[in-house]
Structure 1
Amino acid sequence: MGYRSITTVNVSGGKETNPLWTAQVSNAAFKIALEASLAAAGYMGTEGRPLTVTASLIELKQPFAGLDLSVTSQVRYSVEGGGRTLFDETVGATGTASMGDALIATERLKIANEKSIQENIKEFLRRFRERAR
């Protein structure tokens, strides 16, 4: 199920980073990362029944300060095709950035955001792959 048949990816819930506040994850950046991961895993394409992946960023839990910054993301993923929902789960994942990643806290937070979203997408792909068997 799903191999080379995801034709559409929709993303919502992201926010643009405000330079005067904390780093965020934009819908555009999240969509690019999700599409690239789906393509690398062999799911993007037009060979099977067309499927749509929808990812809604529910929460991006960020620390206010610290040396090691951990960000937890909660994303609800659904996969639909042929009028049916084939997958509908909320996935949580954490990404951490340390002083070794960046000395400046705002850069560490950005890296922690990216790592959290990367881990979240990996977990979604793992669950979707298991469901597809």
Structure 2
Amino acid sequence: MIYQGEQKTYPKELKDNLEVSSVSGGEKTNPAWTSEIDNDAFSAAVKKSLSSQGLLSESGKYQLEVKMLKVDQPLFGFDMTVTTHVQYTLTDKTNNVTVLNETIVAPYTATVSDAFSGIKRLRLANEGSGKKNITGLLEKLSKLNISSHQISVSVK
């Protein structure tokens, strides 16, 4: 689920200044039932993705809270599409101002050509959707305009 794409450009205020406070809402995989996305795995993927972009800090000025609101999964099928709904809340800890409060919805489809086994296809769809969701977060962070006077998301 880790974003391993190109290095994006971020506001200088976010560089090495973003702390992940919590990741919640995920579910542990039950080996007898279906593949899921658990909090520990998603937290690790978010942190490694932020770190690879030069944003992660153990005690940054900005605090990121991650809530997995919903994961839509098929029970069976040839093509399996999983859609993650994750809310990201970024807060400036110095003044408790919310800088970003965004729910990102990211679908990903794994096909029979990706894996013949339905269990593996579902796992691949979970991982793909999680990675697309994290990619969406990084896109939002790269478009933030942060200054001492205003905070906004730029539209290009």
The structure 2 residue matched to 1:67, chosen from 65, 78, 82, is: 78
Matches within 5 A, 1:29-108: 29-45=41-57, 50-81=61-92, 82=94, 83-108=96-121
TM-score (norm 2): 0.79
The structure 2 residue matched to 1:109, chosen from 116, 119, 122, is: 122
- Going from structure 1 to structure 2, the CA distance change for 1:18 and 1:117 (only over 3 Å counts) comes to same
Q: Secondary structure at the match of 1:66?
A: coil
Q: RMSD in angstroms over aligned alpha carbons? A: 1.6
Decide whether the 8 Å contact of 1:9 with 1:35 is kept in 2: no
- Going from structure 1 to structure 2, the CA distance change for 1:10 and 1:132 (only over 3 Å counts) comes to farther
1:97 Cα deviation (Å)?
Answer: 0.9
What amino acid sits opposite 1:15 in the alignment? E
Q: Secondary structure at the match of 1:18?
A: coil
* Structure 2: distance between partners of 1:67 and 1:107: 12
Q: Secondary structure at the match of 2:144?
A: helix
More helix by share: 1
Greater alpha carbon shift after TM alignment, 78-87 vs 22-31 = 78-87
Identity score, percent: 31
Decide whether the 8 Å contact of 2:29 with 2:38 is kept in 1: yes
Q: Secondary structure at the match of 1:19?
A: coil
1:107 Cα deviation (Å)?
Answer: 0.8
Q: Which runs of 4+ in 1 moved over 4 A?
A: none
Deviations 1:11-37 (A, max 9, x none): 000000011111100000000000011
TM-score (norm 1): 0.92
* Structure 1: distance between partners of 2:85 and 2:30: 21
1:64 Cα deviation (Å)?
Answer: 1.7
Decide whether the 8 Å contact of 1:11 with 1:30 is kept in 2: yes
